[in-house]
A = this chain, B = another copy of it.
Amino acid sequence: MARRRQAVTIKHVAADAGVSLQTVSRVINNEPNVRPEMKERVQASIDRLGYVPSIAAQRMSGSRSYLILALNDREKTVAEWRSRSGTDWVDQMLLGGMLTCAEHGYRMMVELVDTHNDHVERELSATIAALQPDGVILTPPHSENRLITDLLASKNIPFARIGSLEPGPGIRLTMDDDHSAVMATERLIELGHKRIGLIAGPKDYSLSGWRIDGWMRAMQAAGFNTDGLCARGDFGFDSGIAAARTLLSQKDRPTAIIASNDQMALATLDVARELDLAVPDKLSLISFDNTPIVRFTNPPLTAVDQPIAATISHAVELLINKSRKAIPADPINIQGVLVERASTAPAPKANGG
Contact = CB atoms under 8 A, between A and B. Distances in A.
Interface of A: 1-8, 50-57, 59-60, 62, 65-66, 78, 80-82, 84-86, 88, 90-92, 94-95, 98-99, 102, 107, 109-112, 122, 125-126, 129-132, 155-158, 290-293, 295-298, 309, 322-323
A84 B156 contact: no
Given A7-B155, A50-B122, 6 more contacts: A1-B156, A1-B322, A56-B59, A86-B86, A91-B91, A94-B110
Contacts of A111: 107
12 contacts: A2-B156, A6-B129, A54-B129, A55-B132, A57-B60, A84-B291, A84-B292, A85-B292, A90-B91, A90-B94, A94-B110, A98-B112
A94 B81 CA distance: 9
Contacts of A81: 88, 91-92, 94-95, 309
A132 B95 contact: no
List the 10 shortest-distance A-B pairs measured between CB atoms, nearest first.
A86-B292, A52-B129, A296-B296, A56-B59, A81-B95, A56-B56, A52-B126, A3-B62, A1-B323, A84-B292
Contacts of A98: 110, 112
Contacts of A92: 81, 84
B78 A99 contact: yes
Nearest to A59: B56
Contacts of A65: 56
Nearest to A2: B156
Nearest to A300: B296
Contact of A52 (B80, B84, B91, B130): B130
A5 B130 contact: no
A7, A107, A296, most chain B CB atoms within 10 A: A296
Contacts of A129: 6-8, 51-54
A78 B95 contact: yes
B157 A4 contact: yes
A60 B52 contact: no
Given A1-B158, A88-B88, A56 B7 contact: no
A132 B52 contact: no
Contacts of A94: 81, 90, 110
Nearest to A112: B98
Contact of A107 (B59, B86, B109): B109
A95 B122 contact: no
Nearest to A93: B81
B62 A5 contact: yes
B56 A60 contact: yes
A3 B157 CA distance: 10
A315 to B, nearest CB: 17
